[in-house]
Structures are given as structure tokens and as C-alpha cells.
Structure 1
């Protein structure tokens, strides 16, 4: 069963801590672009202008830009390419987004404990659910098909990336800007191929369906490549840092145990006496949703996105009420 944050059968939570979306969003520039997208026509099937814009944004050649319907779609596509090429082993982070394992299972890739002996290696930096830097890199970065998931790289609030710019040139880099833009309902992503992997980039392009992106995905990614959008994202980080400082402080004072994190989310363990499933069910009734971290391999922990002060105040109020009811 695939478990994700965000809306569920109960609809949209009033205060949704369960996703890692930028709570300062939606970015007004990207939102306006999506809303004005011409959905009456097909996009250019070659996505010439979009690839050029993203290539310019990253200062790379356009052939290195591989578009994807979403980060998850690319995860499944590159897993299929590795399997069809004779690969059989995948290395997964200890705690990670579930689609890495789902894609491996779908294509018959077996989990491998050591990155240096795997045919496909997944890394996420900052990592989900912890928000910490990825560890366990292979000794030689370009020895394997290594994919660095940069979904939360634009939302790093402290510290430095695990890999420097030169090292990142040797690996696949996957980007899904909808999180940083606060537009997670728009499904669109792209990857940058390593400098040595032009043939692989062409092969992965050939494996994609026609019009892998619709008009709204094109609009969002085009807006992402604009300087004004990047400026908005950078400015939003200051607000997120303030919100996070407050959220961490009040939760710790209320008896929560928190893991360190460099991103706009973190893992926490509720105060003693709280059973996580019971607490989450109570909070959900009260209009609050957290992400149970059990599916990440962290039973007893939850993941919380950084939200504005009123949402945190309500979280503490409902949790306190649940505690009093239990007692």
C-alpha cells in the first residue's frame, strides 16, 4: 500500500503538517503561469523552449534535460531502464520515499546493502523524512547509476549539500519544483543527466510517452526557470526559518523529541504516553494531519512540515486535549 501525505479520503486538512510543500506558497508567479496555461492545445511534443529554459537555468546543455510527468514517473522510468539493461540490484536509503522501493519491486530489482555493488543507487539530499544530509554514497560517484533526488534542495534552510557542484555533475539530478513552489497538485519534474550520459538521456527520453507534460506542467516548469520565481523561493526561506524556529521551540517545550533537520520538515516523537496511530486519528478529527513515519522505517515517529504559528498553536491545543482525555 502506498502511503503519502496530503489530502486523503477525509479531504484537505485545515492544518496539514503531513506534506513537505512550501507553506509560504503558492508562488504567485508560478500560480499565475499555471492558471493562464492554454489547455486547449497540445504542448510542443519536443518541449524545445522549456528544455532550453531549464538548461539555461542550470547552465547545462539542453540534451541533459530529461522531462518527466512527475518525480515518481521518472523513478519508475529509470528503474525500468536499469532493469532492461541487465541491472538487478538497487541500493535504497535506510529511510526514504516509498516509490524508490515500489519501482524496484515493479521492475524486479533486488535491494542491495552496499551502494558500490548496486546497479541503481538512490539518494535524497536533504532526505525525507529526516531532512538531514544523505549518507552512504558509493566511493566512485559515476560507477553506478546514481540518482540524487533534489526535491527538497531548494527548501534547505541550513547547512550545505552533501555533494559539491562538481560532484553533482557526475550523477543524475532529479528535480520536482512543485514542492518549493507550493503547487504540489501540478505534476511535472525533470532530471539533469550526468555529463557523460548523453546516450542514456536519449534512451530515457525515448521511453517516455508522447506529451509527458501537459500545458500546466509546462507552465510551472517554465516559471520555475525564471529569475523572479527563484527570488521568491529564496525570500520564502527566511519566513520558513522563523516558523521552524518557533515550531521546534514550542514542540520541545511541550515534551516532543525532535530529530535535527536542515529542511522545512523534521521527524518528531510525541510526548510520552501517546500512541502515534491514536494521536494521529484524534488530530485528524480536529482538522490536523501529521505524517506517520512508520512507512519510512521509523515507528513511533511522525514527520511534520513547517507551518505558520497559528497552525502550531492549534496542534499543541488538540494534542494537549488528547492528553487530558487519556489521563
Structure 2
């Protein structure tokens, strides 16, 4: 079985200064965290997620029938890939550098990469590069099922989305607010079906397990729709922009080469980085190796508070001195 590589805690536990995930470092959002803590775990949640779907529909200005709750973004990735395979799709298009579960789901269902892709994956801002998707409108015009992963749209710190409302109504939108809320330990996501995909939405809903959302996931998604939570998120983006400017300056001071990013994370490179990751981890600093993204020799690091940045700089300088 092929191992799936992710950032965040692993068998070694959580790092003191974790740059390896793209969660909002200004979080967790206190309002959302309180809602999760107050969730009633003693009873089954509504299996149809009626309140959640209605709230998300109003939040996005769509009908409730277009909202499909998911246990997580990864669960929906596998679900829609299974649906596409059942529709006769045999080829898939993956971004050149992207979240590994798109490809893992395709392999699980025997879909090959090819020019006649019936299922097209896109992510904006992209991970790990935090950039715009190229030729997204052309992909939509091609008639394939296009899934736009918008996990990092709420954490966009610059630029703008490629698609307007009309364009978004033609793609499947995949949202996982736990990143923006700084609550990645709470699993829960949702998709918004294209405006003209009622039959497909019903088929995908039929493929969902019972109770895809637990009580805490439902509480998080309901909180996501609250104006006060969105106000907190806007304030956190302002904080992240300040932290990012400081982190960019610090990384350049360390001699790292940086790639432009519109999100709360970026890709960096340095000749010593590939051999330094384990040593940094032992010093309490975790970065995300980009080899699994198809970018060997580079790392992705999320924007973190100044104290974590200073810990990274101190650990790097100590290691750099040892390498000399």
C-alpha cells in the first residue's frame, strides 16, 4: 500500500513549531472552538445535516440541494472519484503539484492520467505553491467534471479568484473550513454542486455514508456561517499578512530562495534543506518536504507567529554552523 504523506503530527507527535500544515496560525477561532466544545456528543446528529445544509446554502447564496456535506475533503475526493469511475470516466487530470489524495483516489479506482480526462482537479490558491490555477476556464469549457478545491481561498492573502460567480456555478467547489478556523483536528467539509448538476448531486449524496458529519463537525460548519466568525477570519488575515512579511524577510536573511505565493504558505529552497529536515524536527521545528508534491529539494512552510519564526531561525543557524 502506498503511504500517504501529509503535514502535521505523525508517529513522532506534534512539533513545538509546526510549519508543515497550512492551518490558520492565528487560530483556533474562539467562537468556532466554543461551538465545537458545546456540541452534543451524547446523541446522534441529524443524518441529513438539515440545519447545516440550510446555513451553508444561505452563506453561499445557493439552494440547499447543491450542498453536500462530507466527512472531510479527502472523503469527498474519494467519493467523487468513485462516482466518476461509475460514470465511465477512465482518465483524470491532476495539477502538476498538488495534494496527494487526488492521485491516490484516481489510482484506487484505476483512473489514468491522460488528455481525454473526464475528471479534472484544480486547487486555488494551489498547494504547495499558493498560486492561481492556469487555464481553468478552458478546462470548464471542455465538458469534463471539474472539481475546484477551495480549501485555501479563505486564507488568500493577495490576488483574487480566477472564476466569477458564473464560472463557479459550472464547477464542483470543495470547501474545508477547518484550515481557515485553525481547527484541523475537527473533521468536516462540504461540496457545492454545479448549478446544472442536480442529478449528479443526488447520486453523490447516495454514495455518502450515514452520518458523514459528527456533532463536532456539524457545530464547526454552523459556526463557519456566522458573521462574527467571518469577521474574526478577516482580522486573522490581516495578522497573517504582517506575519508573512516578517517571515519572508527572515527567510531571505537565512539565505533561502522563496517562491511567490498568494496564500498563508510558501515554498522555499536551500542546498542544505533536504538534509536538515530531520535535524530541524529534533529541535522542535517541522517543515513540509515537497518531494511528494513533485518538488524535491524544496519545502513548504506556513506562515507562523514571530516566536515560531525566531525558533526556526535559531535552529537553522545552529545547523548551518554545524554544516560548515
Confirm or deny a common fold (TM above 0.5).
yes
**Matched residue, 2:123:** 124
* Alignment gaps of 5+ in structure 1: none
Deviations along 1:127-154, one digit per CA (max 9) or x if unpaired, are 0000111114362515110000000000
Moved more, 177-186 or 3-12: 3-12
Inter-partner Cα distance in structure 1 for 2:82 and 2:133: 24
Match of 1:305 among 282, 302, 318: 302
**Matched residue, 2:232:** 232
Paired residue secondary structure (2:203): helix
**Matched residue, 2:80:** 78
**Matched residue, 2:136:** 137
> 1:20 and 2:22 equivalent?
yes
Deviation, 1:49, is 1.0
Inter-partner Cα distance in structure 2 for 1:163 and 1:156: 14
Question: Equivalences for 1:170-185 in 2 at 5 Å?
Answer: 170-185=170-185
Paired residue secondary structure (2:190): strand
**Matched residue, 1:169:** 169
Question: Equivalences for 1:5-84 in 2 at 5 Å?
Answer: 5-84=7-86
Inter-partner Cα distance in structure 2 for 1:164 and 1:320: 45
Inter-partner Cα distance in structure 2 for 1:139 and 1:288: 41
Inter-partner Cα distance in structure 1 for 2:208 and 2:317: 50
- The aligned length equals 321
Inter-partner Cα distance in structure 2 for 1:22 and 1:90: 31
Paired residue secondary structure (2:34): helix
**Matched residue, 2:268:** 268
**Matched residue, 2:252:** 252
Q: TM-score if structure 1 supplies the norm length?
A: 0.97
Tell me which stretches of 4 or more aligned residues in structure 1 moved more than 3 Å: none
Question: Equivalences for 1:147-158 in 2 at 5 Å?
Answer: 147-158=147-158
Inter-partner Cα distance in structure 1 for 2:110 and 2:64: 32
Is the 2:122–2:146 Cα contact (8 Å) retained in structure 1? yes
Deviation, 1:275, is 4.6
> 1:287 and 2:284 equivalent?
yes
Inter-partner Cα distance in structure 1 for 2:281 and 2:138: 44
Paired residue secondary structure (2:69): strand
* Alignment gaps of 5+ in structure 2: none
Deviations along 1:90-142, one digit per CA (max 9) or x if unpaired, are 00000000000000000111112x4xx31100000000000111114362515
Paired residue secondary structure (1:179): coil
Is the 2:139–2:146 Cα contact (8 Å) retained in structure 1? no
Q: TM-score if structure 2 supplies the norm length?
A: 0.97
Inter-partner Cα distance in structure 2 for 1:140 and 1:261: 23
Inter-partner Cα distance in structure 2 for 1:256 and 1:180: 27
Paired residue secondary structure (2:180): helix
